Structure 1
């Protein structure tokens, strides 16, 4: 365990050394940002709309008492979407979509000796291959989370329009009532931490793949599983510290 942790820290240290040629690294960062951001936009949009709609319907069902104002459902849906649903569920989905892709890519390069070739030529392989992916994750996953929050709240509004369990006016009033800005801070911190965990853990598992094609798949699976575990652990730590 300590050996793996040492290799993980060493990989991060090598990844963020001063680049040999900044323009090449910048091109890689932009390419990874497009892959992580634009490539994940569709699945995040679909999931966010449906999660927001389902969350609103369930809150309306649980607060069906005539003694409870319907506008409370809007506030509960808003807070749960910003605090938990959008950052955490989006991160778990991105761990499977983005993390497995990164681990598979690096694992394939390792078993086909492309990484060895880069190191022989004097290229800082972790800096060229890992750092752009980590930077893209830290920068794009928070943006995807912002989009997820907006679409989740829109999904809740659509659920009110379609089902009429809660009037749309009451839902909007609940969204505006009693807003605490600290939930935005918690959401932002979570999304940045999740972005770092997903990319760094999956890149670590892919970079140190040993064997052949079978081991590439195992590395990708291991990276996704460990990413999901650490996402949930970080969710607990960040929530307990900031709330």
Structure 2
């Protein structure tokens, strides 16, 4: 199957996904479960990585700003821009693509190879809508909160790194945070987050739903889904930056 056929099949899948849920009670139960699995269980890794990466960004900026003619406040400014523009929305999404994407593909793929999806179809249930739509809603609505938290912790991590290392003062860092603040940058980051969240939910679902074979095939599909989701995040990141910031 060539790439064009895959794209066509992917959009046909989305057409089935976004139909009205047939059984609302089961849909809401599944939605709350996916919010826990895809969102709440990702809080820990996002908080941990955001804090320390923010510290690394601030330290590396401070170590490269050696000229006495360059104000130390530039460190806070650079850390703020780096975290908001790229680290939080893009880097964290790539991490989530690995963690969440493999889970989605393996869970749906296991249902496919054990014929549970066939059983849903026999009962007259739209299996794509039943399995994929809760995942899409959970990621699209919860991930902006995760990325916002990543922004706050990343910037805070930079401030803590400066206090501990003594390379710059907290006041200089805060002054840099206040320099040339543009609210649209937050909007830009949130737009990217929503697009990436949609990709993280749907691309792994596609690979899991259409997997063929046994457990080995599910493992291969999980790896492939993570790779393709990451590639698409990088590609969409380029085009969204081109469209929104230029």
The TM-score normalised by the length of structure 2 is: 0.97
Q: 1:110 aligns with which of 109, 112, 130?
A: 112
- C-alpha distance in 1 between matches for 2:119 and 2:67: 68
Please report the RMSD computed on the Cα atoms of aligned residues, expressed in angstroms.
0.8
State yes or no: 1:234 paired with 2:229: no
Aligned to 1:203: 205
The alpha carbon displacement at 1:132 in A equals 0.6
Count of residue pairs the alignment pairs up: 243
SS of 1:130's partner is helix
SS of 1:210's partner is coil
Equivalence map 1:129-148=2 (5 Å): 129-148=131-150
The alpha carbon displacement at 1:172 in A equals 0.7
State yes or no: 1:161 paired with 2:128: no
Cα distance per residue 1:192-237 (max 9 Å; x no partner): 0110011100000000010000000011001000000000011101
- C-alpha distance in 1 between matches for 2:242 and 2:75: 24
Aligned to 1:8: 10
Q: 1:32 aligns with which of 26, 34, 48?
A: 34
Aligned to 2:130: 128
Aligned to 1:189: 191
Gaps of 5+ in 2: none
- C-alpha distance in 2 between matches for 1:78 and 1:10: 40
Q: 2:77 aligns with which of 52, 71, 75?
A: 75
Structure 1 residue runs of 4 or more that deviate by more than 6 Å after TM superposition: none
The alpha carbon displacement at 1:142 in A equals 1.3
Gaps of 5+ in 1: none
The alpha carbon displacement at 1:27 in A equals 1.6
